[in-house]
Amino acid sequence: MDREQAKSGYQKLSFSQLSESISQTNWLKPLIFDQVTSTNDVAVENLNLVSPGAGIVVIADEQTKGRGRLDRKWSTPPGSGIAMSIAMSTDDFKAELSAVPLICGLAVNRALNSLEISSYLKWPNDIVFADEKESKKPLRKAGGILAQLINDRLIIGIGLNVALVKNDLPVSNATSLNLEGFQVDRNELITKVLEEINYLRKTNNSWLEEYKKACVTLNKNISVVNNSGESLTGTAVDVSPSGALVIKNLENLYQVTVGDIGHFEAT
Ligand code: BTN
C-alpha cells in the first residue's frame, strides 16, 4: 500500500493473491474485475461455468449498479469495499437451501470476528455493529447478502463496506469497517470469508447455534414487514433450521421467511 492509499483507506485488490488463495478451496474459480455493473449480474452471465462441486466467485473493485435486498441500491465506489458473488450448484451446501444466505452471513461474521472485529448479525444476514449485543441503541449496518435462485443454481452476493467514508454512505444507519475503527486488508478478508463459506457448506445444522449466538435480533421486540407489505410485531424468539425467524405475538408463534426487520423496545 502506498502513502496515498493508506491515507484514504484504499487498498488495491491483488488479482494474483486472490486467484491463488481461491484456487486452494478446490471449489471456486475466481473471476476478478476492476469494475462491473453488479457482481451478481456477472455471476448470472457466467452460470454456464457452474456445475455441482465447481462454482465461481466474481469479485470486483467497483460496482456501478450494485443491488441490495428488497430492490435497494448498494454502493461500492472503487477500492472501498468487498463486492463479490458466488454462483454454485444448490447441491454444494449440506444445509437447507433457504438457510444458505444466513450461513453465508455467518461466514462473513466469523471471518470478521477472527480478525478481532466485533460485528454481529441482524436477521436474516445483515452484518451490523452494536455497542454491545443487548444494546437498545440503533444498529449500524456494514454489510449484507443478496441471494438469487435460478433453476438449480444459487447466487450469493456479498457486500461489505470496508473503507467507505461518511459521504459515501447512502443512509444514516450505514457504516464501514474503517468508520468503526478497523483497518483490514481486503484481499485477506475476502480469502477468510471464502474459507469460512467453504467450511460451513460441508456442515449440516451445526451453523444454527453459532448463528443464534451472533444474532442481535433474538429476544428483541421487533416489527417485520413482509413482501406483501403486511406488518407483524412481537418478540423474536428463535431461528429455525430453514432460516426462518420465529416471532411470538401474545401466545401465538409465527415463522417469517422474508422481510425487513425493525428492532424496537415496546413502550
Ligand atoms: C443488502 O441489501 O443487505 C444486500 C447487499 C448485497 C450487496 C452485494 S455487493 C455484491 C453483490 N452484487 C450486488 O449487486 N449486490 C451484492
Q: What is the pLDDT of residues 165-181, one digit of tens each?
A: 888 888 889 999 999 99
Q: How many residues can be counted in the chain?
A: 267
User: Relative to the CA of 68, which ligand 1 atom is closest?
Assistant: 2
Mean of pLDDT values over 11-18 = 88
Q: Give the pLDDT confidence score for residue 178 in this predicted structure.
A: 95
Q: Is the CB of 72 under 6 A from ligand 1?
A: yes
pLDDT for residue 135 is more than 90 = no
Helix, strand or coil for residue 24?
Answer: coil
One-letter amino acid of 40: N
pLDDT for residue 196 is more than 70 = yes
**Interval 64-78: pLDDT, tens:** 999 998 888 999 999
Mean of pLDDT values over 79-102 = 96
b/e per residue 222-250 (b: at least 16 CB within 10 A): bebeeeeeeeeebebeebeeebbbbbeee
Q: Give the pLDDT confidence score for residue 9 in this predicted structure.
A: 55
Mean of pLDDT values over 94-116 = 97
Instruction: Work out the pLDDT band at 145, boundaries 50, 70, 90.
Output: very high
Q: How far apart are CA 213 and CA 4, in angstroms?
A: 39
Mean of pLDDT values over 47-68 = 97
Q: Give the pLDDT confidence score for residue 203 in this predicted structure.
A: 92
**Interval 210-244: pLDDT, tens:** 999 999 999 999 998 876 777 889 999 999 999 99
Q: Helix 100-114 to helix 186-200 angle, to the nearest 10 degrees? A: 130
Q: Is the CB of 55 under 6 A from ligand 1?
A: no
207 vs 4, higher pLDDT: 207
Percent of the chain with pLDDT over 70: 93
Give, for ligand 1, the residue of 40, 84, 155, 161 to mutate: max count of ligand atoms closer than 8 Å to Cβ: 40
Average pLDDT, the chain: 91
For 149-186, the DSSP string reads EETTEEEEEEEEESS--GGG-SSTTB--TTTTT----H
Mean of pLDDT values over 147-172 = 93
User: Relative to the CA of 66, which ligand 1 atom is closest?
Assistant: 14
Q: Poorest-confidence range of 69-73, 80-84, 99-103, 146-150?
A: 69-73
pLDDT for residue 182 is more than 60 = yes
Q: Is the CB of 67 under 6 A from ligand 1?
A: yes
Instruction: Work out the pLDDT band at 266, boundaries 50, 70, 90.
Output: very low
Q: Poorest-confidence range of 142-146, 148-152, 240-244, 260-264?
A: 260-264
pLDDT for residue 131 is more than 90 = no
pLDDT for residue 115 is more than 90 = yes
Give, for ligand 1, the residue of 37, 70, 146 to mutate: max count of ligand atoms closer than 8 Å to Cβ: 146
Q: Is the CB of 40 under 6 A from ligand 1?
A: yes
Q: Is the CB of 126 under 6 A from ligand 1?
A: yes
Helix H or strand E segment including 195: helix 186-200
Instruction: Work out the pLDDT band at 10, boundaries 50, 70, 90.
Output: low
